[in-house]
Amino acid sequence: MSHKFGRRIALRCTLVAAPLAVGLTACGGGGNPLAATPHTAAAKVAYGSAAGGKADPSKPLQVTVERDGSRITDVTATDAAGRYVRGELSADGMTWHSTSPLAAGTHYTVRVSTEDSDGHPGRKVLGFDTTPADAGLHVTFGPDAGTYGVGQPVTAALSTPVKDPKARAIVEGNLRVSSTPQAAQGSWYWVDDRTLHYRPSTYWPNNAKIDVTSTLNGVKVQDKLYGGPDKKLTLHTGDRVEALTDAATDQMTFKRDGKVVKTIPVTTGKPGFSTRNGIKVVLGKESFVQMKSESIGIAAGSSDSYDLPVYWATRVTWSGEYVHAAPWSEGSQGSANVSHGCTGMSTENAHWFFDNVRQGDIVQVVNSLGDTMTPFDNGFGDWNLTWAQWKQGSALGTQGKAAAAKNSAPDTKTAAKTGTTSGTKPDTKTGATSGTGSSGTDGTAGPEPAAAPADPSRLRPQTV
């Protein structure tokens, strides 16, 4: 049996490092080289020096040996969490250098294995710290922890705008979503430079646990911008609740976990005020709202003006579309559309609906004369994009995946076993992988997304 020199590609880490030179002295050994205790390797480990004797994470890590017949057989560089730095060994075994950035504010351990001209093994272990980042990119996940309907998208708000496609890929590759039970393929969509939404190809599974985490801490996103530590988010889904309103028949069909629970006579928007078609999700519930026509631009005193106390109001858009009690229109419910855009029903039915839905539940309208719900500027219309359209909003195209793979934090166990890592979780989801749920949308195409989401605090009009 003999030692064979081979090229070793060390695993990559989503971090960045810096250099100081450390010389290592070789010691001789006798006897069988395979049985010999490894001597101190004649190798020099260098990293870009910075203030306080720490390493500059923007500089590469390098390992070299003298030209005395020795050669490097293996190099591994890991951070405190066990994540590996990717690197490349030269064909002659004389040098090794990192090919992925080191992380800021991180401790690294470098293990170098060599053999001399007689085949005697050498080993050296060295530790160093990288300087902390001056500025960090932070991510705030939403919504708040709690239980939601199966249509609730996950959101990520960035503390700093990210515009460069490669930087976006690095960010996206480090935002991890997993669900239990196993869910369908999911993806992030860049709504704007600071906002991302995540949804599955179909609705989330009912009664699921969803974990959302960031592995950006210490990762170099772009020049002088590193990721910072962020709080993870855990969500749960309840039953799969879908309320489908057919504006042509003026009936709402309410389903729970696929079974029809109730059919409710309703009225939707009259001509000129037609209710939006498409899939919306419940944004919130208000037991009482004073609705005024001026909030949607209808002049007081005009034939269409109103100022009404409204009970059991379930909001589905920020611009003021609700499902609510409308006792004044009970004579038209189930037969005619007479509202200003909301879905109206009897007080008894509105109270029942209010009590049986939660934020994130699906509220869909079909066969209305209105426009289709927009994806991002008026609530959560995310499901009105087909899955093909949705994936176009991801930064992880061919080039993006390469950038993410180079700069994303790997799965430690996978890296240690295989020697390769990926900046993103695989699309084939498991209970511990990026996940989404059971079938829900019919893939109907929607309009192009708006440039940015609307601020709910500024959009409070109401329709009846």
Please list the active-site residues. 324, 342
Peptide bond into 19 cis (omega under 30): no
CA distance 311 to 306: 15
> In angstroms, what CA-CA distances link 24 with 13, 63, 76, 125?
25, 11, 17, 10
> In angstroms, what CA-CA distances link 265 with 24, 211, 248, 254, 336?
83, 39, 12, 11, 10
Check if the beta carbon of residue 19 is closer than 8 Å to that of residue 48: yes
CA distance 245 to 366: 6
Residue tagged 């700093």 (tokens): 160
Burial 102-120 (b: 16+ CB within 10 A, else e): bbbbbebebebbbbbeeeb
CA distance 459 to 464: 16
Tell me the residue length of the chain: 464
Residue 447 carries which DSSP code? P
Residue 273 carries which DSSP code? S
Residue 458 carries which DSSP code? G
Residue 91 in tokens = 């064909």
Peptide bond into 60 cis (omega under 30): no
Amino acid sitting at position 117: S
136 closest CA partner among 158, 157, 156:
158
> Angle at the Cα of 188 (from 451 to 192), degrees rounded to 5?
20
Amino acid sitting at position 132: P
> Angle at the Cα of 420 (from 419 to 426), degrees rounded to 5?
140
Residue 181 in tokens = 């039970």
Burial 169-185 (b: 16+ CB within 10 A, else e): bbbbbbbbbbbeebbbb
310 closest CA partner among 209, 172, 461, 429:
461
